[in-house]
Amino acid sequence: MEMDTTDLIARARAGDHNAFRDLVQGHSHELQVHCYRILGSLQDAEDALQETLVSAWRNLGGFGQRSSLRTWLYQIATNRCLSMLRADSRRPRAVPPLPEATLPEPTGAGNAPPPAMVEYRGIESAQRVFTAVSFFPAAPTAWYPPAPTS
């Protein structure tokens, strides 16, 4: 397989598009997933993958085979994704205008006086707090699976 890769690299460097396609075809899906994890958008990941492959094609002559082809492609893809993130952070974000909102007319229900506020003082207030707190669930505890029985 190493001989096949070396042969494909040599043929791709000579300008053989089919050899380059065969060379990167096995890595394309995992590179796209890698780009998606960085960018968080499928469309941006597809764009980054295309830019990665174009860059790899243009710079194949500089690939010194000091690392594997997969590592070299990942390095290009990562750099492309980071460049896209930097460019996106510098680009002003267009905020769509909010639609004109029409508020409903007030109804007659708002004309009634508010209900009387009830004040609780002293022991009655403390009893209500105690009753409310008693309905809270107990403090969470760690759950351990039961030990297997033999």
User: Beta-strand (E) ranges in 86-135?
Assistant: none
- Hey, is 68 helix, strand or coil? coil
Instruction: Give every residue of the chain whose pLDDT is below 50, as ranges.
Output: 1
Q: How far apart are CA 53 and CA 72, in angstroms?
A: 11
Q: How far apart are CA 26 and CA 148, in angstroms?
A: 44
Radius of gyration over alpha carbons of the chain, in Å? 32
Q: Under a CB-based contact definition with an 8 Å cutoff, are residues 19 and 12 in contact? A: yes
pLDDT at 30: 94
pLDDT at 45: 93
- Hey, is 50 helix, strand or coil? helix
The domain spans of the chain are 27-90
Assign domain 27-90 to a CATH class.
mainly alpha
pLDDT at 114: 56
